[in-house]
Each structure stands twice: as structure tokens, then as C-alpha cells.
Amino acid sequence: MTDDLVAALRPLLLAEASAEAHASGTEPGDLEQAVWLRLLELLDSDGPPVDPQSWLRRAVRSEARRSRRTTRREQPYETEPAADTDRHDPEHMALAAARGRALREAVRRLPGRCPRLMEALLSPNDLTYREIAGELGISQGSLGPERSRCLGCLRRLLTPEVAARGVRG
């Protein structure tokens, strides 16, 4: 039943998402994915819609509106000047050096093999995952989860040192 419903709605969803995507400032594929997700949630809770085509049209328009609202409300984060930009005055150079020292010190305090992994990731040699995995003696597939765990630890270590700048997003 679900496969038949998906097969029947796919052409209509492609057309509706393509028509609404430009005005909402999003990609048609993103709208399609959001509507498929809403359909799965609906099937789990209430079962299939009574009039699937009408439901689909309403769902596409609703997701397009949500995307427009989100885009209007999003604000970029304030950026901090990088150390390698044109700002070579002593104050900016001192702040960049202090940030680098704090990062290196926090990396050294990480548990287990996290210091070696983070050093490899931060290396100026721009190593690939395959090279890093070979250097650390772990599988390439476990590198991503290990990196996430190490970044979480690093984030917790640096939290007291990073002051909140104000309201974001």
C-alpha cells in the first residue's frame, strides 16, 4: 500500500516541489524530502490521507512557507577576523596567538588518542582521512565517530574559555 502511494505521488510531488522551490528560496529536492518525511509521520500516526493529491499539494505549500519564514529569520553569525587576513596590527596578532595557544593546550589535555587525532586534523599538511587512519592505526570508518567524540571533549574543555558574544541566529 505504501509503495503504491509513493509511486502514485512521486510525479505530482516532483512537479509541485519544482514549482514552489524557486519562490521559497530552497532546492526542489529539499522540499521533496520534507514532504516525504511529513507523509511518513502521517502514515505512522493517522494512516494514509483521505485525498493524497490534495494533501500533497497542501504539504508542499506548507513546507515552502516554512522554508521562507526560516530563511527570513536566519541571521549569519558574527565573524571574527582570521589571523591570516590583512589585520596585522599587534592587538589582532596577540589575540590570534592566544587563541592558538589555548587550542593547543586544550588538545594536549584531551583523553586517549584524541590529542594525536586532533593534531592530525589540524595539521598544516591537510592530511586525508585515509592518511590519518593509517597514521593512528585505526580503521577509516571509525575516524568520523572518533573525531566527533574528540571534538565534543574539546568543546567541553574550551567552553569556560569562550565567552558568549550575544544573541545568535
Determine contact, residues 119/104, Cβ cutoff 8 Å. no
Determine contact, residues 7/39, Cβ cutoff 8 Å. no
CA distances in angstroms from 27 to 17, 20, 166, listed in the order given: 8, 9, 31
59 has pLDDT over 90:
yes
Mean pLDDT score of the chain: 83
Residue 83: pLDDT band with limits 50, 70, 90:
very low
User: How far is Cα 15 from Cα 68, in angstroms, rounded to an integer?
Assistant: 19
> How much is the pTM?
0.45
Determine contact, residues 118/107, Cβ cutoff 8 Å. yes
Q: Which of the two residues, 68 and 56, has the higher pLDDT score?
A: 56
User: How far is Cα 165 from Cα 154, in angstroms, rounded to an integer?
Assistant: 19
Domain 90-159 sits in CATH at 1.10.10.10
54 has pLDDT over 90:
yes
User: How far is Cα 73 from Cα 25, in angstroms, rounded to an integer?
Assistant: 13
- Average pLDDT for residues 13-27, to the nearest whole number? 86
Domain boundaries, the chain: 2-71, 90-159
User: How far is Cα 163 from Cα 144, in angstroms, rounded to an integer?
Assistant: 28
Kindly report, residue by residue over 86-141, the tens digit of the pLDDT. 567 888 888 888 888 888 888 999 988 899 999 888 888 888 888 888 888 888 88
